[in-house]
């Protein structure tokens, strides 16, 4: 069942979303060659707790950190550690915040210093594909209108959508119904209505769509080791259109 949120609930989710967005902004200024992903994780945890929230990923199904850090060919769910970022890397940071009983979930892929033209284009296309998906979220439309808009934009730009992982509903749980695929024909799935809140999160590979999971049991990476990017917003549907919750 898809839970419809009240205006009060959406306002609380907006508060959680603002915390997540502000933490990502701080992380962006901390990202530079030489910093470790564990240092970024500690900084994120400190900032989330300082804002009165809890890191939603920490302990989630045993995940050992507050953020996911996925570098270059890593798609999602990378575990922070002693790895040091270097010039030219791209790093996807995914983070969730629990505040006053409500979750927010957001992700951005950043470049470290100067990145290749291909990496820059992959980041731009993935970011824009999220915007395309959000724009397709209309009251009276269908869930897969979002999926289709994302896939169409990504493939028109020569990149691949990751099929094995999807976005999701979000609210008093981090993952609620429905699942939000980043591919498929339009006009399918549940009808969209005001009060639905979705975490929309395209994962885009520069090479083939195929992915595998590293033997740490978490890190998803491209099978052909091509670059991958990931952007995510938690988005509420209001009567007159989508409202992004995970921005400042
Ligand atoms: Mg998510």
Residue 233 forms part of a structural domain? yes
Looking at residue 99, what is its pLDDT? 98
Residue 86 has which token pair? 């270097």
Concatenated DSSP letters of 148-188: HHHHHHHHHTT-EE--S--EEE-SSSSSEEEEE-S-S-SS-
- Which domain range does residue 23 map to? 7-244
Residue 2 forms part of a structural domain? no
What global pTM score does this model have?
0.98
Concatenated DSSP letters of 51-117: TT-EESSTTGGG--SSEEEEETTEEE-PPP-SPBP-TT-EEEEEEEEEETTEEEEEEEEEE-SS--H
Residue 182 forms part of a structural domain? yes
* CA–centroid distance, residue 115 to ligand 1 (Å): 26
* CA–centroid distance, residue 170 to ligand 1 (Å): 8
Residue 227 forms part of a structural domain? yes
* CA–centroid distance, residue 94 to ligand 1 (Å): 8
Overall average pLDDT of the 37-49 stretch = 98
* CATH code assigned at 163: 3.90.230.10
Residue 30 forms part of a structural domain? yes
* CA–centroid distance, residue 76 to ligand 1 (Å): 10
* CA–centroid distance, residue 176 to ligand 1 (Å): 10
Residue 62 forms part of a structural domain? yes
Overall average pLDDT of the 203-231 stretch = 98
Other beta carbons within 10 Å of 161: 22
What percent of the chain has pLDDT above 70?
Answer: 100
Residue 186 forms part of a structural domain? yes
pLDDT digits (tens, 9 = 90+) for 128-147: 999 999 999 999 999 999 99
Overall average pLDDT of the 146-169 stretch = 98
Residue 149 has which token pair? 């808009």
Domain count, the chain: 1
CA separation for the pair 1, 52 (Å, rounded): 30
Residue 1 forms part of a structural domain? no
């Amino acid at each position: 069942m898809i839970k419809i949120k009240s205006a009060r609930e959406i306002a609380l989710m907006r508060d959680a979303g603002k915390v997540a967005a502000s933490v990502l902004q701080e992380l962006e200024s901390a990202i530079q060659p030489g910093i470790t992903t564990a240092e970024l994780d500690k900084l994120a945890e400190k900032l989330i707790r300082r804002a009165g929230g809890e890191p939603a990923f920490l302990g989630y199904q045993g995940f050992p950190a507050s953020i996911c850090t996925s570098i270059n060919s890593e798609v999602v769910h990378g575990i922070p550690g002693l790895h040091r970022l270097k010039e030219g890397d791209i790093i996807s940071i995914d983070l969730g915040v629990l505040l006053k009983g409500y979750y927010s979930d957001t992700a951005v892929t950043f470049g470290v210093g100067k990145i290749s033209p291909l990496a820059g284009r992959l980041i731009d296309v993935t970011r824009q594909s999220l915007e395309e998906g959000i724009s397709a979220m209309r009251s009276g439309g269908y869930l897969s209108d979002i999926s289709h808009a994302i896939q169409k934009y990504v493939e028109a730009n020569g990149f691949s959508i990751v099929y094995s992982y999807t976005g999701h509903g979000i609210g008093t749980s981090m993952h609620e119904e429905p699942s939000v695929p980043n591919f498929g024909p339009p006009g399918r799935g549940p009808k969209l209505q005001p009060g639905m809140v979705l975490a929309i999160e395209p994962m885009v590979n520069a090479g083939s769509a195929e992915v595998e999971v590293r033997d740490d049991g978490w890190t998803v990476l491209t099978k052909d080791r091509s670059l991958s990017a990931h952007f995510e917003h938690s988005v509420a549907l209001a009567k007159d259109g989508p409202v992004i919750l995970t921005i400042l």
